[in-house]
C-alpha cells in the first residue's frame, strides 16, 4: 500500500508542475492585452504603458512565470488585475458558493442514480428497467440550462417559492442560501444522475455475469443476497471513477448553470477573467482546480485500492 | 449552445404565458405590497464593473454604479446631457477661454468624514494628468497646464489653449474629485462626496450603496440601492418577472422588450445613448482607400434591416458620427440611400465590377455579431464577399484598434463616448482617416467657445465625414430600460453612461 501511495504522489506532483507551465503558456499566447482591456479605446499609449508597468506586465515572460509559481507555492496567488484584490480572496468568496453547490448536486445525483441503477439491474429487461433507462435517456438528452430555465419559470416566476437567481450569502441563514442553491443543484444533478444510473446498471450487470456470482448462486445464495454482497462491491469501481470525474466537472464546469441562476461561482469567475484577460486570476484559479481534480483522482485511486485489494500489489 | 438559446427562450416564454395568466393577479398583489413600503431599489445590470474607481478604467459599468451616486466632479452632466454645477457652485472664464476659475461648494464632506476643499480638486486633477496616471481618458486633461489653489474654496485652472468642451469634460466620470486620503482604495472601497456611500460588494453578484446622511445637496434619496449583476439575458427576464430586481436601466435583450411593453406591471422606456454604431472601415487599406468603394458600401447597407434584424427595431438610423438627440445633429441618413444599382455602379467605376473579397471582424456584443451578419448579406448583393471573423474584446482591441498595423478591413462597434467626433481628426486612429479639411474644422472647434459657433462647426464636421463616407453609419444605440411601473426618476436617455439615482423614488 505504501509503495502504491508514493508512486501515486510522485505522478501527482509531476502532473501539477507540468500543468502550471501549460496554463501559464496558454494564457500568455492568447491575444489580448489586459491593460488595454482595462483602459479601453480612449486611452493614450503612455497611460497603457504606465498601467502595464504597474501590473508588472513589462517584465520578461520567464521572470513572471517564476514569480507566479513561487508565489503559488507559498500560498500567494497574486492580485487580480481587474478587481485589485487578492486572488485567494476571490476564490474563497466563490468557493463558498461553488463547493456547496457541487456537493449538493453530487449528493442528489448519487442518491438518485445508485438506487435507480441497482433497481434497473435487478429488474433487467422488465418494465421498471425499461422505464428507468428511458428516463435516463431523457436526462442525458435534455440540456440542463433549458431545464434550469423551465424550473425558474415554474418555481421562481409563477410559484415564487425560490428566488430566480443570485445568492444571498450564508450570513442570511442556511435556509435562504439553500433556497438559492436548490434549483441549480437539481439542474446540475439530473444529467449527472442519468449518466451515473446507467453506469451503475451496466457495471452491476457485468459483475452479475461473472463466474464467482454463479458460484455464489450455486452455494444457495438468493439473487438479492448475491447482488448486495458480491456484485455491488465489484461494480463500484467504474461508478467511483465517474463520480470523481463528475465532482471535478461540478466544481468549475457549471458556467452555464451559474449564468442561468447568476450565481457568483468559480466557473463565472474564470469565464469573466478570461474575457477581461485577468491572467493572474485565470492562472491561479485554474491551477487550483487542476490541483483539486488531481487530488480527487488520487482519492478515487486510493478508494479503488480499498475496494479492490488486488490493485495495491500491482506494479508497473 | 449559443444557437439553441433563443429558441429555448421562446418555448419557455410560451409556457410562461400559459401559466402566468392564471397567477398574474396573485403576483400583482404581493408586488404592490412590497412597492408601497420600501424605500430602496434593486437594479439589474448585465456587466459587472471590474472595480469602482472611475478614474482608473474605461468600463462603462463603473460609472453606471458610482457616477453622480457616489462620486461627483466639478461639473456634472444631467439627464439631458446639459452641463450643471456639482462640486463647483459657479465658474468664470477669462483670458480668452484659457483660464477657468471655479468657486467650490463649502461644507461638503467625503464619506470618510474628511472635508472637501480646493486641495482635493488640485490633487484629483494633477493625479489624473500626472505621469503615472492610469486614467482611461487622460486626454480630457491634456489642455491643462496648471491647477492652482487660490483659497480653500477657489481653484484656478489654466489651459494651454482654449478648449470649448472643457466644462463638459470636467463632468465625465473620469474627472470626478477624489479625496487625497482615500483615493488609493477607491477601486474596492470608493469614497466620494455623493448622495450615496458605498456599502458592500459581493463580487459576481451585487453592489450595495447606502444613503449618505451628510450629503450637501437637498435631494431626498433612497435609503438603499443595490445593483445586481445578471449576465444572462434569459435570467434577466426571469429576475424581473419574479420581482428579484425592480428594473434594468439597460435591458440586455431587445427581443424581450415587447413582452414587457404589453405588461402593465412594467414601464418600458426606450431612449437614446451616445453610442454611434458604425461599420468601421480601414481607410488606408485597399480597396477601402477609394472613396467610391466606401460610398458603394454606404449604398449597399440596409439600415432598416439591421435595426429590425439585430436590434428588434430599437435604434435610430444615423448618417454621420453624431448623436441624433444633439441639437447640432445633421440628418445625413438619406445621403446614401439603400440602392443596390448605384452601389454596383460605384464599384464598377472604382474597378471592381465583380466586387471583391474582404473580412469583417465582429466583437462580442449582440449588435455587432447580429448586425455583422446582416451587413455581410447586404454587401454580398453588390458582390462584396465578406468573411465573418468573430473576435473577443481582447483580440479586437489588439488587432483592430491598437498596434502599428491595423489588422482589419471592416468591423462593427458602437462608439459610446459622448461627443467624440474629434477621433476623426487623428490619422492614427483605427479608421486611419486622414483629412486636412476635417482636422482644420476640429482645430477651430477647439478654439471656439460660443455655442452657436461650435454647433456650426460640428455640423460642418459631420458633413465632411458623411461626404467621405469614412465609415458605414448604421444606427444610434438605443437604451431600453425596463422597470417596475411604480418606480420613477430613472434616466430615459444616457448622455453619459450612468444610473443617476438621485431622483429615483417609488410612486404612492
Q: Which residue's C-alpha cell is 439615482?
A: B501
Kindly identify which residue of chain B lies nearest to residue A144, measuring between CA atoms: B1
Fold entry, domain B275-478: Dipeptide-binding Protein; domain 3 (3.10.105)
CB contact under 8 A, A165 and B244: yes
* Span B475-491, average pLDDT: 93
Of A51, A35, A37, A42, nearest to B137 (Cα)? A42
Q: What are phi and psi of A285, to 5 degrees?
A: -65, -45
Beta bridge pairs of residue B201: B207
Structure confidence at residue A314 (pLDDT) = 52
Q: Which of B235, B242, B392 sits opposite A160 (nearest CB)?
A: B242
Write out chain B residues lying below 8 Å of A36, CB-based. 394, 397-398, 401-402
Q: How far is A251 from chain B (nearest CA, A)?
A: 16
* Span A13-28, average pLDDT: 88
- Lowest average pLDDT, out of A125-139, B13-27, B146-160, B295-309, goes to B13-27
Which of helix, strand or coil describes residue A130?
helix
Question: Does residue B494 register a pLDDT over 90?
Answer: no
CB contact under 8 A, A37 and B399: no
The interface predicted TM-score (ipTM) is 0.79
Question: Does residue B29 register a pLDDT over 80?
Answer: no
Structure confidence at residue B24 (pLDDT) = 40
Structure confidence at residue A313 (pLDDT) = 60
* Span B302-329, average pLDDT: 92
Q: Which residue's C-alpha cell is 439542474?
A: A187
Q: Which of A51, A158, A277 sits opposite B23 (nearest CB)?
A: A158
Question: Does residue A246 register a pLDDT over 70?
Answer: yes
Structure confidence at residue B328 (pLDDT) = 92
User: Distance between CA atoms of B392 and B394, rounded to whole angstroms?
Assistant: 5
| Band of residue B21 on the pLDDT scale cut at 50, 70, 90 | very low
Question: Does residue A228 register a pLDDT over 90?
Answer: no
User: Distance between CA atoms of A125 and A131, rounded to whole angstroms?
Assistant: 10
List CB contacts of B498: < 8 A, sequence separation 6 or more.
Answer: B63, B64, B67, B68, B77, B173, B491
| Band of residue A311 on the pLDDT scale cut at 50, 70, 90 | low
State how far Cα B443 lies from the chain centre: 25
| Band of residue B270 on the pLDDT scale cut at 50, 70, 90 | very high
Tell me if B222 sits within 8 A of B208, measured CB to CB: no
Kindly identify which residue of chain A lies nearest to residue B27, measuring between CA atoms: A158
Kindly identify which residue of chain A lies nearest to residue B413, measuring between CA atoms: A41
Structure confidence at residue B34 (pLDDT) = 47
* Span A285-303, average pLDDT: 85
User: Distance between CA atoms of B200 and A93, rounded to whole angstroms?
Assistant: 13
For chain B, the domains span 6-52+191-272+479-506, 72-185, 275-478
| Band of residue B37 on the pLDDT scale cut at 50, 70, 90 | low
| Band of residue B2 on the pLDDT scale cut at 50, 70, 90 | very low
| Band of residue A137 on the pLDDT scale cut at 50, 70, 90 | very high
Give whole-number Cα distances, B152 to A239, B28, B106, B155, B212, in Å.
Answer: 74, 54, 9, 8, 23
* Span A79-88, average pLDDT: 88
Other Cβ atoms less than 10 A from the Cβ of A306: the count is 11
Structure confidence at residue A27 (pLDDT) = 84
Beta bridge pairs of residue B44: B228, B248
Of A230, A233, A222, A286, nearest to A24 (Cα)? A286
Structure confidence at residue A312 (pLDDT) = 63
User: Distance between CA atoms of B166 and B140, rounded to whole angstroms?
Assistant: 8
Question: Does residue B33 register a pLDDT over 70?
Answer: no
User: Distance between CA atoms of B49 and A82, rounded to whole angstroms?
Assistant: 9
State chain A's mean pLDDT as an integer.
86
* Span B114-135, average pLDDT: 93
CB contact under 8 A, B231 and A259: yes
Q: What is the pLDDT of residues B410-444, one digit of tens each?
A: 999 999 888 889 999 999 899 999 999 999 999 99
Other Cβ atoms less than 10 A from the Cβ of B455: the count is 16
Give whole-number Cα distances, B483 to A117, B143, B244, B250, B317, in Å.
Answer: 48, 41, 12, 10, 26
pLDDT: which is higher, A81 or B114: B114
Question: Does residue A16 register a pLDDT over 60?
Answer: yes
Strands across the sheet with B99-104, in order?
B88-94, B99-104, B154-159, B144-151
Write out chain B residues lying below 8 Å of A262, CB-based. 205, 228-232, 235, 239
State chain B's mean pLDDT as an integer.
89
Beta bridge pairs of residue B79: none
Question: Does residue B91 register a pLDDT over 90?
Answer: yes
CB contact under 8 A, A143 and B4: yes
CB contact under 8 A, A43 and B138: yes
Structure confidence at residue A251 (pLDDT) = 78
* Span A33-44, average pLDDT: 82
Give whole-number Cα distances, B431 to A38, B288, B295, B375, B465, in Å.
Answer: 21, 10, 15, 18, 11
Pick the CATH number of B72-185 from 3.40.50.620, 3.90.76.10, 3.40.50.720, 3.30.43.10: 3.90.76.10
HEC profile for B87-106? CEEEEEEEHHHCEEEEEECC
User: Among residues 164-203 of chain B, which lie with CB inside 8 Å of chain A?
Assistant: 187-188, 202-203
Residues in chain B: 508
pLDDT: which is higher, A144 or B317: B317
Write out chain A residues lying below 8 Å of B235, CB-based. 152, 164-165, 259-262
Q: Which of A150, A265, A277 sits opposite B12 (nearest CB)?
A: A150
| Band of residue A222 on the pLDDT scale cut at 50, 70, 90 | confident
Tell me if B268 sits within 8 A of B336, measured CB to CB: no
Q: What is the pLDDT of residues B345-393, one digit of tens each?
A: 999 999 999 999 999 999 988 899 999 999 999 999 999 999 999 998 8
Q: What angle do CA A225, A227, A231 make, to 5 degrees?
A: 130
CB contact under 8 A, A33 and B394: yes
Which of helix, strand or coil describes residue B220?
coil
Q: Do domains B6-52+191-272+479-506 and B275-478 have the same CATH topology?
A: no
Which of helix, strand or coil describes residue B267?
strand
Q: What angle do CA B281, B423, B329 make, to 5 degrees?
A: 90
Question: Does residue B399 register a pLDDT over 50?
Answer: yes
* Span B470-483, average pLDDT: 94
Tell me if B361 sits within 8 A of B411, measured CB to CB: yes
Peptide bond into A316 cis (omega under 30): no
Q: What is the pLDDT of residues A147-199, one digit of tens each?
A: 999 999 999 988 989 888 889 888 888 898 999 999 999 999 999 999 999 99
Question: Does residue B258 register a pLDDT over 70?
Answer: yes
- Cell numbers that stand for B9 in this block: 427562450
Give whole-number Cα distances, A61 to A28, A58, A66, A79, A210, in Å.
Answer: 8, 9, 9, 17, 56
Structure confidence at residue B398 (pLDDT) = 85
CB contact under 8 A, B242 and A152: yes
Tell me if B221 sits within 8 A of B211, measured CB to CB: yes
Q: Indicate the pairing of strand B266-281 with strand B472-484.
A: antiparallel
Beta-carbon pairs below 8 A across chains A and B: 187
pLDDT: which is higher, A305 or A110: A110
| Band of residue B488 on the pLDDT scale cut at 50, 70, 90 | very high
Radius of gyration of chain A (CA): 24
User: Distance between CA atoms of B267 and B246, rounded to whole angstroms?
Assistant: 11
Question: Does residue B31 register a pLDDT over 70?
Answer: no
- Cell numbers that stand for A158 in this block: 409563477
Question: Does residue A55 register a pLDDT over 90?
Answer: no
Radius of gyration of chain B (CA): 24
pLDDT: which is higher, A174 or A309: A174
CB contact under 8 A, A259 and B235: yes
Tell me if B155 sits within 8 A of A72, measured CB to CB: no
Q: How far is A262 from chain B (nearest CA, A)?
A: 5
CA A173, A176, A179, A182 dihedral sign is negative
Question: Does residue B173 register a pLDDT over 90?
Answer: yes
User: Distance between CA atoms of B459 and B328, rounded to whole angstroms?
Assistant: 6
Pick the CATH number of B6-52+191-272+479-506 from 3.40.190.10, 3.40.50.300, 3.30.1360.120, 3.40.50.720: 3.40.190.10
Write out chain B residues lying below 8 Å of A90, CB-based. 203
Amino acid at each position: 500500500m505504501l509503495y502504491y501511495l508514493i508512486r501515486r504522489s510522485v505522478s501527482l506532483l509531476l502532473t501539477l508542475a507540468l500543468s502550471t507551465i501549460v496554463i501559464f503558456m496558454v494564457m500568455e499566447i492568447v491575444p489580448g492585452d489586459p491593460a488595454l482591456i482595462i483602459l479601453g479605446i480612449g486611452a493614450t499609449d503612455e497611460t497603457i504603458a504606465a498601467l502595464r508597468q504597474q501590473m508588472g506586465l513589462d517584465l520578461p515572460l520567464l521572470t513572471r512565470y517564476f514569480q507566479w509559481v513561487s508565489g503559488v507555492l507559498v500560498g500567494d496567488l497574486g492580485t487580480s488585475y481587474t478587481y485589485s484584490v487578492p486572488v485567494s480572496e476571490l476564490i474563497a468568496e466563490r468557493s463558498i458558493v461553488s463547493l456547496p453547490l457541487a456537493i449538493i448536486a453530487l449528493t442528489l445525483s448519487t442518491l438518485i442514480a445508485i438506487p435507480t441503477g441497482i433497481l434497473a439491474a435487478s429488474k433487467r429487461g422488465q418494465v421498471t428497467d425499461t422505464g428507468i433507462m428511458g428516463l435516463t435517456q431523457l436526462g442525458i438528452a435534455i440540456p440542463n440550462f433549458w431545464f434550469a430555465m423551465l424550473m425558474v419559470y415554474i418555481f421562481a416566476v409563477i410559484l415564487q417559492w425560490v428566488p430566480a437567481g443570485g445568492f444571498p450569502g450564508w450570513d442570511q441563514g442556511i435556509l435562504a442560501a439553500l433556497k438559492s442553491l436548490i434549483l441549480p443543484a437539481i439542474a446540475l444533478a439530473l444529467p449527472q444522475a442519468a449518466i451515473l444510473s446507467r453506469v451503475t446498471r451496466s457495471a452491476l450487470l457485468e459483475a452479475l455475469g461473472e463466474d464467482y456470482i454463479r458460484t455464489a448462486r450455486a452455494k444457495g445464495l438468493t439473487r438479492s443476497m448475491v447482488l448486495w454482497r458480491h456484485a455491488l462491491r465489484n461494480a463500484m469501481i467504474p461508478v467511483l471513477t465517474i463520480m470523481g470525474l463528475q465532482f471535478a466537472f461540478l466544481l468549475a464546469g457549471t458556467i452555464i448553470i451559474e449564468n442561468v441562476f447568476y450565481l457568483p461561482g468559480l466557473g463565472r469567475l474564470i469565464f469573466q477573467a478570461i474575457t477581461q484577460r485577468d491572467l493572474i486570476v485565470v492562472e491561479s484559479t485554474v491551477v487550483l482546480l487542476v490541483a483539486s481534480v488531481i487530488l480527487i483522482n488520487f482519492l478515487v485511486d486510493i478508494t479503488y485500492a480499498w475496494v479492490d485489494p488486488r490493485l495495491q500489489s500491482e506494479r508497473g | 449552445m449559443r444557437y439553441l438559446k433563443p429558441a429555448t427562450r421562446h418555448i419557455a416564454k410560451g409556457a410562461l404565458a400559459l401559466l402566468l395568466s392564471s397567477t398574474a393577479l396573485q403576483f400583482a398583489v404581493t408586488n404592490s405590497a412590497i412597492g408601497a413600503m420600501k424605500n430602496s431599489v434593486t437594479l439589474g445590470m448585465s456587466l459587472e464593473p471590474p472595480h469602482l474607481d472611475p478614474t482608473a478604467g474605461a468600463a462603462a459599468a463603473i460609472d453606471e454604479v458610482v457616477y453622480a451616486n457616489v462620486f461627483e466632479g466639478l461639473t456634472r452632466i444631467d439627464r439631458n446631457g446639459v452641463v450643471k454645477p456639482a462640486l463647483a457652485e459657479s465658474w468664470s472664464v477669462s483670458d480668452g477661454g484659457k483660464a477657468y476659475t471655479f468657486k467650490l461648494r463649502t461644507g461638503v464632506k467625503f464619506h470618510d468624514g474628511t472635508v472637501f476643499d480646493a486641495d482635493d480638486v488640485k490633487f484629483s486633477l494633477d493625479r489624473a494628468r500626472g505621469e503615472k496616471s492610469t486614467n482611461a481618458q487622460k486626454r480630457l486633461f491634456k489642455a491643462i497646464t496648471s491647477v492652482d489653489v487660490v483659497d480653500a474654496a477657489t481653484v484656478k485652472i489654466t489651459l494651454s489653449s482654449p478648449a470649448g468642451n472643457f466644462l463638459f469634460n470636467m463632468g465625465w466620470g473620469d474627472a470626478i474629485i477624489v479625496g487625497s486620503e482615500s483615493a488609493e482604495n477607491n477601486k474596492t472601497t470608493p469614497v466620494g462626496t455623493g448622495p450615496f456611500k458605498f456599502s458592500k460588494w459581493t463580487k459576481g453578484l451585487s453592489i450595495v450603496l447606502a444613503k449618505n446622511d451628510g450629503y450637501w445637496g437637498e435631494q431626498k434619496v433612497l435609503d438603499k440601492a443595490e445593483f445586481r449583476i445578471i449576465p444572462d439575458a434569459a435570467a434577466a427576464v426571469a429576475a424581473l418577472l419574479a420581482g428579484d430586481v425592480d428594473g434594468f436601466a439597460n435591458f440586455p435583450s431587445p427581443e424581450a422588450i415587447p413582452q414587457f411593453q404589453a405588461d402593465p406591471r412594467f414601464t418600458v422606456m426606450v431612449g437614446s445613448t451616445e453610442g454611434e454604431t458604425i461599420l468601421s472601415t480601414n481607410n488606408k487599406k485597399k480597396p477601402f482607400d477609394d472613396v467610391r468603394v466606401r460610398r458603394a458600401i454606404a449604398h449597399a447597407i440596409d439600415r432598416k434591416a439591421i435595426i429590425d434584424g439585430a436590434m428588434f427595431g430599437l435604434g435610430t438610423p444615423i448618417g454621420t458620427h453624431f448623436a441624433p438627440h444633439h441639437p447640432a445633429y445633421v440628418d445625413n441618413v438619406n445621403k446614401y440611400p439603400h440602392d443596390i444599382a448605384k452601389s454596383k455602379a460605384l464599384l464598377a467605376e472604382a474597378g471592381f465590377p465583380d466586387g471583391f473579397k474582404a473580412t469583417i471582424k465582429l466583437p462580442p456584443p449582440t449588435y455587432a455579431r447580429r448586425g455583422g451578419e446582416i451587413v455581410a448579406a447586404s454587401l454580398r448583393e453588390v458582390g462584396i464577399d465578406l468573411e465573418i471573423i468573430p473576435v473577443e474584446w481582447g483580440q479586437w482591441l489588439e488587432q483592430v484598434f491598437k498596434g502599428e498595423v491595423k489588422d482589419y478591413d471592416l468591423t462593427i462597434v458602437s462608439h459610446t463616448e459622448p461627443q467624440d467626433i474629434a477621433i476623426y481628426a487623428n490619422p492614427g486612429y483605427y479608421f486611419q482617416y486622414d483629412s486636412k479639411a476635417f482636422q482644420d474644422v476640429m482645430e477651430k472647434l477647439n478654439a471656439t467657445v460660443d455655442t452657436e459657433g461650435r454647433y456650426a462647426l460640428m455640423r460642418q464636421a459631420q458633413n465632411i465625414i458623411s461626404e467621405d463616407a469614412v465609415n458605414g453609419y448604421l444606427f444610434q444605440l438605443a437604451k431600453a430600460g425596463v422597470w417596475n411601473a411604480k418606480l420613477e426618476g430613472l434616466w430615459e436617455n444616457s448622455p453619459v453612461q450612468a444610473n443617476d439615482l438621485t431622483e429615483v423614488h417609488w410612486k404612492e
